[in-house]
Structure 1
Amino acid sequence: MIAWLLLFYQGFYSLVPEAAFHKKVGRHHYGLSEIITEGIPQDTVHLGEVEVFSPALDKYTHGQQIKAIKSEDLRDFQGFGLSDLIQQRTGLFLRQYGPGMLASLTMRGTSAGHNAVFWNGLPINSPSLGQTDFSILPVGAFDEVQLHLGSGGALYGTDAIGGTVHLNSRLKFGQGHSFQTDSNLGSFGRWNQQLQYGFSNKRISLRTRVYRNIAENDFPFPNLAKPGIPIERQEHAAFYQEGFSQDLAFQIKPNQLISSSLWYNQTEREIQPVMGSNTLDSQEDRSLRWVLDYFNFGIKKTWNFKTGMVRDQLIFNSIENNTSQFFLIGDMDWEISPKISSKSGVRYTHVHGKLSTYEAKENRIELYQSTNFSVAEDLKISINLRQFVYDGILAPFTPSLGADWILFSKKVNELKLHVNGARSFKIPTLNDRFWEPGGNRGLLPESSWSGELGVSYLFKNERFKLNQQLTHYRMWVDNWIIWIPKGNIWSPENIRQVHNKGIEYAFNADYQLGNWTFEAQGNYNWTRAINQTNISENDRSAGNQLPYTPIHKFQSLIGVKRGWIHSYLNYHFTGARFEAMDNISYLTPYALWDWGFRIGEIHALKIKGSLGFQLNNVFNTSYQVLRLRAMPGRNYQINIQIKL
């Protein structure tokens, strides 16, 4: 509870003593996703024994593809950043500057700023940079991770051109006291420790987490920038992170619930230099995020009022940049009839940026409407609408239309068709408009139109289950913002037009043979992101693939379980990436193998324990994600989890 008092009575920078920042740099969620309640009167049709909230995150997403990260994977990657988990389990590509360094997600061939990121229903992309660094989001801070592929502007607002990432907390009532500790030890000075305490009864649920992640990142690598390509040990790439989170839920009445989450995260990094360079840059990232939800459950209507804030501080080589966002959100989800449900809402955001070269304030307001139609038992349709206004400027009106159509359904198999068409947008970042010198206040929002068609097939019997999905999409992005030189000054312009198209295939399979369970899963992405415009007389890049956008990306995993023993083998392949718009030079494809096993959960008295081991890059492959950015060879991690 001290953390809550600090939030309201102290400033952002007094939450953690200043000395702490000067160590040696070595488909169902609404913030609260699952509530288990007891003792509710039978005549109250509000909170059942198990209530799973279904807001716009997946309730109104017919026709869209959603990837949910398994809880087992969240456990196995406790000591890693979210970038490592996404890279190894989803088949998506991240532009990564080294282990623990900047990692930006690209979905369907779009840029790092074309993905919206939400934490418990709050957008957390930096308003100055317009993106999120996935390497500093610790996996251990979340209970649920979902990735929604494709345009989501009508559902989520700005930035959701390529896709949306949702990070959520989960609480339960009636669980009593609980304690959990996770310890991880790995190669190259990697160490992680996380402690978690929770308590809940019939009306109150609370949980506190604290964590610390450290890595020296002193791995050997072949230095391609020196004659003879000598093997050297990486220097100046240390990573230090610590933070805490506090989640709380209180059932006011049988039909009323209040929940809140607080998360503080701070990271210090020595910025890994490119091969052949001896730069000694450093960076500190501090963030404070808080959200408060009130739910009122009626027989046919659910009201939700949300407020929260996101404060970020980035210090690069002692140059300080601060941004803050304050949110007020209200919406009503209404079951109009057994076949029609609707959601209407408004979101207000106040943005304040105080950066090294400018200071800016901005008010944003969004009106949104979502409706589901059950046209027939086998045909579901979603219509979503959103209007976004920022600084008195109308962003493009954003509609979307999606449908899921069950072509046939039998006892053991089902074939379903998915169709979606949508418009999305991204407003210019604060840096794009106000940076001095070079900012352009006349920039237009980036805008996209997209369409996708997919088919999914499910087969299951007593022993075997197979789920497959094949999707084809096309996307046209207009007014893409890029920075170009104007004399001695670089300035952003709405110049680029890009046509994206691709094919996505995903499958999951499980087979039960006695006490043995065999599993397999895979993801393949074929991505073309084609520039349509030349930005100068000497530019000949029209028709070329965007840089660092692999055409082929594949990931697969096979595993076996028996009792409390689980072992798996993971493979991920990344195709060639062009280094520049001219598409002349490129980085060669690479393939990595990872192996791991876990023993647990083992029960002894009232203690549950598990032991895991991961061997990454089994064959010690030398590779680059980005040019001259060293990556580690073979490395390991041991993790121990104990629950009381």
Structure 2
Amino acid sequence: MDIKRSLVLLFASYGCFLFAQEKTIDTIYVFDSQMNKVKLFHKVNTLKAEDVEKNSTNLSETLRFQSPVYIKENGRGAVSSPSFRGTTAQQTAFVWNGININSMFLGQGDINNISLSGFEQMDIKAGGGSVIYGSGAIGGSIHLNNILDFNKGIHASLFSEAGSFDTYNNFARVSFSNDKLSFKVSGNYSISQNDYEVEEVNYRNRNGQYNNSNINIAVAYKIAPHHQISWISEFFNGNQHYPVFFADIQTKTKYETQNIRSLIAWDWNTSRFTNAFKAAYTEENFQYFNNIDQPKSSGGTGKNYILKNDLNYFLSSKWNLNLITEFQVNDGEGYQSGIKKVSRNIGSVSGLVRYFATKDLRFEGGIKKDFVENISSPVLFSLSGNWKALKWYETSLNISRNFRYPTFNDLYWYPGGNENLKPETSYQFELRNQFKISDIKLSVTPYYMKIYDMIQWLPSSLGNHSPVNTDEVESYGLESQIEYAKKFGNHALKGNLGYSYSKSVNMETHKQQMYVPLHKFFGNIDYQYQFLRVYVQGMFNGLTYTDTDEKRSAAIDPYFVMNAGVSGTVLKNYTLGFKVNNIFNQVYQSTAYYYMPQRHYSINLTINF
């Protein structure tokens, strides 16, 4: 059988293993092989390339309007961080083709320095996932996946966009595949002066310009009937200027980053046995300039060397065993941060058992032990079950223990680093209920989470800030989403509406955590008629406290923002689009004092060869 074919057939049939059945299908290769299994037990929002193009400015915009994630952004295109279910950015895992890419210094993904283009699919999963995806997967995880397919011939595409504030975005992709080889290369360049104004509050985004570029290369080759090797690499370069409020008296600053990610994989697949071995290298380089006309004032370089093996063995049509082992070496060096050359070895072993009682009832249990140099890490576990009780009703239960170990900044920053920190740990419970009536799907998921040994930087007796294990945080709430899709003749209509309620409380003060809105709505409607496509999308964000005392005067008021776009395809290969963002000219901010743009526009052209 082709590489990955048995696994695709296996999980597409909800656990009914098809050992003897051969079937002619177009094989696709997904670098994150675990995601198909995750979707059997968890709610995962999947965004494809056409979804991402609606919010092509940056990854922050895409997540803000098309997911339950709260985005805290210091003005358009600047520093940005995500929050799942009332947790922090450090408790959100970014996963690139199955590899955790959170910074070893900050412990989080720098959203606007992660390229939006170059990925065929983005998966957004709320809830803990440390058993599979490691440190930081406490509140949720964001998965950036590349996909290679076979027997598709030669294809090429070009996307070019021009918008308000001298914003330009260009993306090109070329691919070739036959029955043995699949190759894809893409490149992106974005630039913006980003000098927008919000007259109602006398705000101008001074010194807000940015530019970034990236190149993606991916290759897969079937070396034998049951063996496939593949390679994927990404090279990213970013430059952000940080906004200032008073150009005459404030010094202009900027931040530059260069990231490299490279992965080699060997997949061995038979009808009862699959093994995915990966060797990866990731590198992060960053420089901060406290004066844009002077040399860098601080920076750092981090290098990760990763070996990961994912073994699946099918005991029978009902039992599946999964063993995941990983070893990595983290090397870091800071500049003007007190962090000299430091290194850390990390190993982990995860075991999962899946039992498919019937086509409509399945269970999964997992356990994991991490071995982090100089840090005592807890034993993690996960328990999941999924039951399609009725034709129109399905329910899933998930219980897990997750964790995050301290970053290099937490441990070694000078002055203030604390080498005696313990990892953060959390317990999570969620119960997903899904109803399906005709073309409508509704999911309702209440959840509860408790986090222990939260790492926070607090003032010390020496007059500086230092990280300590302090608060316990209790988070609970509800996530729901209704989806509709219908085709009738030449018409196609698709829509979704999501709502999340997030209560995240410091157990000592009994106050809501900073930058955790109680309510968030997001929605998208797409309509297509032959060559014409129209979409609208909206996002409502409730009252958001910006301090630890729930001070109403300092809180961000609720706001509602709506976007719309239209596109038409002519001569089959040419698509021209027009977008209006913030239609109602809403004045809003996601971070105190840093306002987002009011109504603005863009026009784009897509050419397929």
Question: Are 1:622 and 2:587 counterparts?
Answer: yes
Counterpart Cα distance in 1 of 2:105 and 2:525: 41
Counterpart Cα distance in 2 of 1:210 and 1:241: 11
Q: Show the counterpart of 1:477.
A: 451
Q: Show the counterpart of 1:453.
A: 431
- What is the Cα deviation at residue 223 of structure 1? 7.2
Question: For residues 325-365 of structure 1, what are the alpha-carbon distances to aligned partners after superposition, in whole Å with 9 as ceiling and x for unaligned?
Answer: 11011121111110111110210010011012212100000
Q: Show the counterpart of 2:281.
A: 309
1:559 pairs with 526, 544, 562, which one? 526
- 8 Å contact kept, 2:208–2:242: yes
Counterpart Cα distance in 2 of 1:596 and 1:474: 37
Question: Are 1:583 and 2:523 counterparts?
Answer: no
1:430 pairs with 402, 408, 418, which one? 408
Counterpart amino acid of residue 242 in structure 1: S
Q: Show the counterpart of 1:351.
A: 330
Q: Show the counterpart of 1:291.
A: 263
- What is the Cα deviation at residue 599 of structure 1? 1.2
**C-alpha spacing 1:385/1:527, structure 2 compared with 1 (3 Å):** same
- What is the Cα deviation at residue 385 of structure 1? 1.2
- What is the Cα deviation at residue 489 of structure 1? 2.0
- 8 Å contact kept, 2:33–2:98: no
Counterpart Cα distance in 1 of 2:578 and 2:485: 23
Q: Show the counterpart of 2:481.
A: 506
Q: Show the counterpart of 1:24.
A: none
- What is the Cα deviation at residue 149 of structure 1? 0.8
- 8 Å contact kept, 1:74–1:143: no
Please, which runs of 5 or more residues in structure 2 have no aligned partner? 10-18, 290-295
Q: Show the counterpart of 2:141.
A: 164
Q: Show the counterpart of 1:393.
A: 375
Counterpart amino acid of residue 255 in structure 1: H
- 8 Å contact kept, 2:211–2:238: yes
Q: Show the counterpart of 1:369.
A: 351
Question: Are 1:128 and 2:102 counterparts?
Answer: no
Q: Show the counterpart of 1:59.
A: 37
Question: Are 1:141 and 2:113 counterparts?
Answer: no
1:515 pairs with 487, 490, 509, which one? 490
Q: Show the counterpart of 1:599.
A: 568
Under a length normalisation based on structure 1, what TM-score does the superposition of the two structures give?
0.87
Counterpart Cα distance in 2 of 1:136 and 1:84: 13
- What is the Cα deviation at residue 97 of structure 1? 0.7
Q: Show the counterpart of 1:405.
A: 387
Counterpart Cα distance in 1 of 2:430 and 2:245: 39
Counterpart Cα distance in 2 of 1:427 and 1:274: 36
**C-alpha spacing 1:377/1:173, structure 2 compared with 1 (3 Å):** closer
- What is the Cα deviation at residue 123 of structure 1? 1.0
Counterpart amino acid of residue 443 in structure 1: L
- What is the Cα deviation at residue 80 of structure 1? 2.2
Question: For residues 549-572 of structure 1, what are the alpha-carbon distances to aligned partners after superposition, in whole Å with 9 as ceiling and x for unaligned?
Answer: 100000112232211211122111
Q: Show the counterpart of 1:250.
A: 221
How many residue pairs align between the two structures?
A: 581
Q: Show the counterpart of 2:366.
A: 384
Counterpart Cα distance in 1 of 2:234 and 2:49: 20
Question: For 1:164-243, what aligned pairs fall within 5 Å after superposition?
Answer: 164-222=141-199, 224=201, 230=202, 233-243=204-214
Question: For residues 304-332 of structure 1, what are the alpha-carbon distances to aligned partners after superposition, in whole Å with 9 as ceiling and x for unaligned?
Answer: 11001110011001122111111011121
Moved more, 147-156 or 423-432: 147-156
Question: For residues 163-182 of structure 1, what are the alpha-carbon distances to aligned partners after superposition, in whole Å with 9 as ceiling and x for unaligned?
Answer: 11111111112222222111
Secondary structure of the residue that 2:61 maps to in structure 1? helix
Counterpart amino acid of residue 188 in structure 1: F
Counterpart amino acid of residue 85 in structure 1: T
Q: Show the counterpart of 2:505.
A: 530
Q: Show the counterpart of 1:496.
A: 471
- What is the Cα deviation at residue 207 of structure 1? 1.3
Counterpart Cα distance in 1 of 2:68 and 2:255: 29
Secondary structure of the residue that 1:355 maps to in structure 2? strand
Question: For residues 247-290 of structure 1, what are the alpha-carbon distances to aligned partners after superposition, in whole Å with 9 as ceiling and x for unaligned?
Answer: 11111011110111010001011111257873311100110000
Q: CA RMSD in A?
A: 2.2
Secondary structure of the residue that 2:594 maps to in structure 1? coil
**C-alpha spacing 1:392/1:442, structure 2 compared with 1 (3 Å):** closer
Secondary structure of the residue that 2:591 maps to in structure 1? coil
Q: Show the counterpart of 2:16.
A: none
- 8 Å contact kept, 2:516–2:544: yes
Please, which runs of 5 or more residues in structure 1 have no aligned partner? 1-28, 36-41, 225-229, 534-541
- 8 Å contact kept, 2:27–2:150: no
- 8 Å contact kept, 1:34–1:170: no
Question: For residues 132-171 of structure 1, what are the alpha-carbon distances to aligned partners after superposition, in whole Å with 9 as ceiling and x for unaligned?
Answer: 1111222212111001110111121110000111111111
Counterpart Cα distance in 1 of 2:513 and 2:383: 28
Counterpart Cα distance in 2 of 1:513 and 1:197: 33
**C-alpha spacing 1:558/1:51, structure 2 compared with 1 (3 Å):** closer
**C-alpha spacing 1:170/1:603, structure 2 compared with 1 (3 Å):** farther
Counterpart amino acid of residue 492 in structure 1: P
- 8 Å contact kept, 2:457–2:465: yes
- 8 Å contact kept, 1:374–1:380: yes
- What is the Cα deviation at residue 70 of structure 1? 3.5
Question: For residues 502-538 of structure 1, what are the alpha-carbon distances to aligned partners after superposition, in whole Å with 9 as ceiling and x for unaligned?
Answer: 11110111234443223321110000000012xxxxx
- 8 Å contact kept, 1:343–1:370: yes
Moved more, 271-280 or 608-617: 271-280
Counterpart Cα distance in 2 of 1:346 and 1:392: 20
Q: Show the counterpart of 2:14.
A: none
Moved more, 550-559 or 445-454: 550-559
Q: Show the counterpart of 1:80.
A: 57
Under a length normalisation based on structure 2, what TM-score does the superposition of the two structures give?
0.92
Counterpart Cα distance in 1 of 2:38 and 2:232: 25
